[in-house]
Structure 1
Amino acid sequence: MVSIITVFILFTVFILYSINRMTNKLCVQKEIPDERQPKVFRTINILILILLISSYVDVLYA
């Protein structure tokens, strides 16, 4: 059980880091104003966290 949690936390950190890098590149490429960037990052991070939590629950109870 502890190993599953550890692996999933490492996986989550890697995924969030990768998604944030891609989001930053998107903001630069599409020239999104600095005022809107925090909202873009927040929205994407919340959606990714929902996806990761639901996949964790699926792995845990499957």
Structure 2
Amino acid sequence: MISIFFIIFAIFILFNINKMTYSLCLQKDIPEERQPKVYRTINILVTILLISSFVENLYR
């Protein structure tokens, strides 16, 4: 049950982080060719944080 809640929470977090990344790219005038690298880096880091928090809660 907690796993399902956490997966829904993670999808919500990733969606909101991507919206904020889009706003950052517009505000800072990041060139089009660098935007995929920015998105990839931020998504990987957030995914690592979500997985580590899931594992921490799993073994608590």
TM-score (structure 2 length as normaliser) = 0.98
SS of the equivalent of 1:21 reads helix
**Quick one: distance in 1 between partners of 2:2 and 2:52?**
15
Per the alignment, residue 45 of structure 2 pairs with: 47
SS of the equivalent of 1:34 reads coil
Identity %: 63
Matched, 1:27 2:32: no
Residues 15-58 of structure 1: per-residue CA shift (max 9 Å, x gap)? 00000000000000000000000000000000000000000000
- Runs of 5+ unmatched residues, structure 1: none
TM-score (structure 1 length as normaliser) = 0.95
- Runs of 5+ unmatched residues, structure 2: none
1:35 partner letter: E
Count of aligned residue pairs for this structure pair: 60
Matched, 1:4 2:10: no
